[in-house]
């Protein structure tokens, strides 16, 4: 699995979509891509596109690590955004 410049753009796009999904009101939108990644990687392993057990485990852990980090970052972003909005509402109510 060698990645060229297109692979880098595809990975960046997937991480951007993951961040977008994680900033939705429903927290489960952010679970779509990690589950799809697990299914896709397992399919690759079963069909012998990934021949090494260690390679499968490393790809799986590394991918899930990045996707969960984006999910966590998106949830933090939305919580901060909500907190700022509530603070604005409180200061406006005090006037």
Q: What is the pLDDT of residue 39?
A: 96
Q: Is the pLDDT of residue 95 over 70?
A: no
Q: What is the pLDDT of residue 90?
A: 86
pLDDT tens across 24-72, in order?
988 899 999 999 999 999 999 999 998 899 999 999 999 999 999 999 9
Tokens of 4: 């060229």
Q: What is the pLDDT of residue 57?
A: 95
Q: What is the pLDDT of residue 7?
A: 84
Q: What is the DSSP string of 28-39?
A: GGGGHHHHHHHH
């Amino acid at each position: 699995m060698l990645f060229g410049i297109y692979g880098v753009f595809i990975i960046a796009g997937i991480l951007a979509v993951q961040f977008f999904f994680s900033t939705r009101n429903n927290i489960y939108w952010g679970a779509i891509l990690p589950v799809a990644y697990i299914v896709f990687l397992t399919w690759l392993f079963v069909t012998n596109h990934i021949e090494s057990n260690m390679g499968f485990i490393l790809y799986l852990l590394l991918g899930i690590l990045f996707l969960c980090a984006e999910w966590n970052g998106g949830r933090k972003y939305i919580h901060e955004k909500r907190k700022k909005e509530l603070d604005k509402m409180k200061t406006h109510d005090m006037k």
